[in-house]
Amino acid sequence: MNETDMSLWLVIFISILATYMWRFLGIVIASHMHPDGALSRWFACVAYAVLAGLVARMIILPEGALADAPLIDKLIALGIGFVVFFLVKRNTSAGTAAAFLSFAAITLWRYMLQA
Amino acid sequence: MIDKQPEINKSGNTDILPSVAYKLGARDAFGMPALVLFASMMGFGSLARESGINVWHAVVTTLGIWGLPGQIIMVEMLAVGAPIFAIALGVSAANARFLPMTLAITPYLKGWKTAWWRRMLFAQFITLTPWAMALQRFPAMAQAERIPYYTGFSIVCLTGAMIGTWLGHSLAGVLPRPLTLSLIFLSPAFFAMVFAGVRQRAGVMALACGALIGPTLHGWSVSWGIPVTGLLAGSFAFALDDLIRRYQNRGRP
């Protein structure tokens, strides 16, 4: 194992700890929590809001791995996905597949235009 | 892990054994959920290789962090040569969502008498896909079925994710760029559909507020925009739901 390899393992190990810390904290707090309906409803709201914010950011903002894809492509694909989702009686798989295929088709089309 | 049958099936007239619940969970995962994790982790795997980390690093990262946004942040920060402290902080902020997620799901396990290390192990398996599934299915499930169901579901997802990471790492550079992009797009698209299926009023409002505020707060802080979004939007949605609840219940004892 060389030095870079070791420091990479260190980064990974610390990242894992930095992640697990939140889960650990959750389990510890929850086991001391009174079985209070309102409190856990609030936590569910916070969790949903965090996740929605995260997903919206992944889709809307031109950053990270999806930076190369124009916003309009992502929105069109997602729109088609939602339409199929509701047409097929709220079927998650159908909606996801439709969004994925639309996005793949648009991206491929752009790629071929460039080439 | 399942060494005896449940003494009493608390809430259920459905007499499902843990082993059956375990298989049910595995079967529910064996489809779109595992496929999405497989595909999006393929995206992660190929990204990881571009950042110069080997296949073992990548697979251990998937198993250990078990949350795509944090994993992506880690390899992206590695690629730009960020200091280790900054990486830890970035990953931690990206994964702070696991705190409210754990707090929201654990009350369903009240009365779960088990060794502390099993609770710790359960905590490691809290991640978006099984969590969202559990939040939808746990209420209608008997106490004794929940953990086996979750375990079965998680094991299939994790297996798919690890194979995906390995395959993505191996195929990096071979996969055409449009396909890599599409694989990465798959996970936000899947989550958007999962969220579109949420029916409870409080959840719907929290999702809508979060989706609106999340990208806005990004300009304020890249790392802490999302956790703060959760706190603001989630609390607002909760308060609004509570207000409507009281309004509807007015006059009743």
Q: Chain B window 77-116: which residues touch A at a Cβ cutoff of 8 Å?
A: 78, 84, 87-89, 91-92, 95-104, 106-107, 110
B25 part of a folded domain: yes
pLDDT at A38: 83
Q: How many CB pairs under 8 A join A and B?
A: 298
Question: Is the confidence at residue B55, as pLDDT, over 60?
Answer: yes
- Which chain A residue has its CA at the smallest distance from B218's CA? A57
B11 part of a folded domain: no
What is the distance in angstroms between the CA of the first residue and the CA of the last residue of chain B?
Answer: 46
Interface predicted TM-score (ipTM): 0.86
B184 and B234 both lie in a single domain: no
| Chain B residues with beta carbon closer than 8 angstroms to that of A96 | 32, 36, 186, 189-190, 193
Question: Is the confidence at residue B94, as pLDDT, over 50?
Answer: yes
Q: Which of B146, B173, B194 is the last residue of a domain?
A: B194
| Chain B residues with beta carbon closer than 8 angstroms to that of A78 | 189, 192
pLDDT at B12: 46
**Overall average pLDDT of the B217-231 stretch:** 84
* pLDDT grade for B211, boundaries at 50, 70 and 90: very high
**pLDDT, tens digit (0-9, with 9 covering 90-100), for A62-83:** 666 678 889 999 999 999 999 9
Structure tokens at B1: 């892990």
Q: What's the length of chain A?
A: 115
| Chain B residues with beta carbon closer than 8 angstroms to that of A23 | 98-99, 102, 123-124, 126
B139 part of a folded domain: yes
B6 part of a folded domain: no
B184 part of a folded domain: yes
Structure tokens at A81: 């996905």
Integer Cα distance of B166 and B240 in angstroms: 45
Asked if the C-beta of A18 comes within 8 angstroms of chain B's C-beta atoms, the answer is yes
Q: Are B33 and B133 in contact (CB under 8 A)?
A: yes
Question: Is the confidence at residue B59, as pLDDT, over 90?
Answer: yes
Q: Which of B195, B232, B194 is nearest to B216 (CA)?
A: B232
B190 and B241 both lie in a single domain: no
Q: Which of B30, B62, B99 to mutate to test the interface with A (most CBs of A within 10 A)?
A: B99
Distance from CA of A103 to the nearest CA of B (A): 6
Structure tokens at B155: 């094991």
- Which chain B residue has its CA at the smallest distance from A67's CA? B181
pLDDT at B108: 83
Ramachandran area for residue B111 (φ above 0: left; ψ -120 to 50: alpha; else beta): left
**pLDDT, tens digit (0-9, with 9 covering 90-100), for A85-108:** 999 988 888 999 999 999 999 999
B214 and B189 both lie in a single domain: no
Q: Which of B142, B234, B250, B98 is nearest to A41 (CA)?
A: B234
The b/e string for A79-91 (b: 16+ C-beta within 10 A; e otherwise) is ebbbebbeeeeeb
| Chain B residues with beta carbon closer than 8 angstroms to that of A14 | 84, 87-88
B114 and B210 both lie in a single domain: no
B101 and B37 both lie in a single domain: yes
B185 part of a folded domain: yes
B167 and B223 both lie in a single domain: no
- What burial class does residue B51 get, using C-beta atoms within 10 Å of its C-beta: 0-12 exposed, 13-18 middle, 19+ buried? middle
Q: Are A27 and B102 in contact (CB under 8 A)?
A: yes
pLDDT at A114: 84
Residue recorded with tokens 């001391």: A32
Q: Are B99 and B107 in contact (CB under 8 A)?
A: no
Beta-carbon separation of A55 and B176 below 8 A: no
Q: Which of B194, B225, B244 is the last residue of a domain?
A: B194
Integer Cα distance of B244 and B246 in angstroms: 5
Q: Are B66 and B127 in contact (CB under 8 A)?
A: yes
Q: How many CB atoms lie within 10 A of CB B12?
A: 15
Counting the structural domains of chain B, the total is: 2
Sequence-separated (6 or more) residues with CB below 8 Å from residue A36: none
